[in-house]
Structure 1
Amino acid sequence: MKKVVFLFLLLSICSISACAERDKNVPEHDNKINTSVTQSINDKSDTVQAQTEALQQIKEQIHFDVPLKMPSTLPIGEGSFLTATTRTQGDQVEVIFYESKENMPINDIRLKKSGTVIGRLLVKKYKSAEGASTQIAFDNFNQNGGQEVDLGYNIKGYQDAGAGSLWTGWNEGRWAIATHTRTDNPDAGVKLAKQAVAYLENHMLPIPRQYGMAQLDVYQSGNLIVWQDEKLVYTLDSIKDPLNALAIATAFY
């Protein structure tokens, strides 16, 4: 019995020693990789926290008679800070989101010169939901006709051309979405439409009450996303990248 106990203790000691030796022999570059991954996670966490605080500060600068929704995050460059200018005029609120290389206060007058515009949010209150609904250019594309195109994920798009422009439109729930390109570059419109459909498979646009519409521009000059929330109409524009426009819109969900 004593021999068995002795052998068990000996094997345990050897196992512990082997583990300790193996830890000492971990290649230095592996340790660096682990440190890098940990640092990356910490950096992302800090970025999210900084954006959350900035968005809260933006909301505190808005004085409106009804609560407004804001995106939970915005796409900004690494090492940049989120800030904004706000303006309330009558029944309308304007928020221009900026990224800056230094942490600048909300409504800092230097932003127009040193900041980079991420996008603009307009929220307008109407006297009635019926009045607000007239601001949404909603189309039911499968009833409008046009050349069918497969956009993937069992979604059909419909193409319509005119005056040198080519639109590829489709519906997702109460949203009407269309991409714009020129007639001499038709494949670009379909490609962007497929990218948007794939993105929306994993990201939700805000639920409109009652309708929403999105125009995504291949040439990054006319991205526009508008949706109704009862008496309020939300408008996103001044966003260059069409997929960034979708990213900001889905951050309202």
Structure 2
Amino acid sequence: MKKIFFTCMLLSFSMLSACSDKEEKPNVPNKPQEEQQTNVPNKPQEEQQTNVPNKPQEEQQQTHEHQQKPPKTNNENTVASNTQAGALKNIKDQLKTNLPITLPKGLPITKGTFLTATTKTETNQVEIVFLESKEYLSINDSKLKQPDRATAIARLSVQQYESTDEANEQISFENYSQNGGQEVDLGYNIKGYQDAGVGSLWTGWNEGRWAIATHTRTENPEAGVKLAKQAVQFLETHMLPIPKQNGFARLDVYESGNLIVWQEGKLVYTLDSIKDPLKALEIATAFYH
């Protein structure tokens, strides 16, 4: 009897031990494995991929961008520019006027030179002398007065009058077909009219609201017609500014006295100090917008 009881007790103890081992087996190894797969490696990996390398890279990019930025200057509005657009903006900034002035889109300058200018501003008038220089020179730089440092391209003056009628009186507009004179064919279905007097010979014609005339001496009449034909041909592919109301251009064979004037309401634009008559036309057409 005791032997049977002892055997039962031994079997019960064995079963309890087996159950205890079975319950503890999934808990003991799984917990470290879960921590090893999720907590332990992932945290350092995330820090390594996002925090550690990116910060130096961002600082490196910011340092590179800082090195690429050009240094700021206190005279950005007065310096010359390696582009004509920049130079013209600087020139307009220096005018310091409320007059609604339009500047040309560009000027014919010698290759390898820079566009600059001197400016003068009064209450109802501004004056700009466009120059080209072989070096960067500020707008209104005192060195521009030295002939060996810069060369004048053209002079532009813009004046405001009390009324549009007064402004229109400043324009020497003529309808050459009504004035008479010897008719001459200038090409492109345009007729010119020659008029001589006091040793000078004029060949005039009209294009839209413009009156245009070439000047030569009476002993060299063909030169005036030749220049007129060249001007007509040029204006076939280039547009003069549209005047309100009229415009006048005088082109001189002997490269003296070239003058282009046009009205813009109460404003009168005057271009002069240009030797080459065809270059004078080229500069005037740059005002067309």
TM-score for both structures, normalised by structure 2:
0.70
- Structure 1 position 103, deviation (Å): 1.4
What's the counterpart of residue 246 of structure 1? 281
Answer yes or no: is the 8 Å Cα contact 2:153–2:274 preserved in 1.
yes
Q: How do residues 201-220 of structure 1 correspond to structure 2 at under 5 angstroms? A: 201-220=236-255
User: Matches of 2:136 and 2:191 in 1, distance apart?
Assistant: 45
**What are the ranges of 5 or more consecutive residues in structure 1 without an aligned counterpart?**
1-47
What's the counterpart of residue 168 of structure 2? 133
Could you list the runs of 4 or more consecutive aligned residues of structure 1 that deviate by over 3 angstroms after TM superposition? none
**Residue deviations 1:185-221 (CA, integer Å, cap 9, x gap):** 1111100000000000000000000000000000111
TM-score for both structures, normalised by structure 1:
0.80
Identity of aligned residues (%): 68
User: Matches of 2:143 and 2:219 in 1, distance apart?
Assistant: 41
What's the counterpart of residue 212 of structure 2? 177
| Residue 105 of structure 2 corresponds to residue 69 of structure 1 | no
Answer yes or no: is the 8 Å Cα contact 2:99–2:124 preserved in 1.
no
1:91 aligned residue (115, 124, 129):
124
1:86 match: secondary structure:
strand
Question: Letter of the aligned partner of 2:217 in structure 1?
Answer: R
**Residue deviations 1:125-146 (CA, integer Å, cap 9, x gap):** 0011111011001000000000
Answer yes or no: is the 8 Å Cα contact 2:258–2:272 preserved in 1.
yes
**What are the ranges of 5 or more consecutive residues in structure 2 without an aligned counterpart?**
1-80
| Residue 227 of structure 2 corresponds to residue 192 of structure 1 | yes
2:83 match: secondary structure:
helix
| Residue 82 of structure 2 corresponds to residue 82 of structure 1 | no
User: Matches of 2:275 and 2:138 in 1, distance apart?
Assistant: 24
What's the counterpart of residue 146 of structure 1? 181
Question: Letter of the aligned partner of 2:93 in structure 1?
Answer: E
Number of matched residues?
206
- CA-based RMSD of the aligned residues comes to 1.0
User: Matches of 1:49 and 1:117 in 2, distance apart?
Assistant: 18
Stretch of structure 1 that moved more, 63-72 or 162-171: 63-72
User: Matches of 1:168 and 1:91 in 2, distance apart?
Assistant: 34
| Residue 150 of structure 2 corresponds to residue 115 of structure 1 | yes
User: Matches of 1:112 and 1:149 in 2, distance apart?
Assistant: 44
| Residue 203 of structure 2 corresponds to residue 168 of structure 1 | yes
1:74 match: secondary structure:
coil
- Structure 1 position 66, deviation (Å): 2.2
What's the counterpart of residue 233 of structure 1? 268
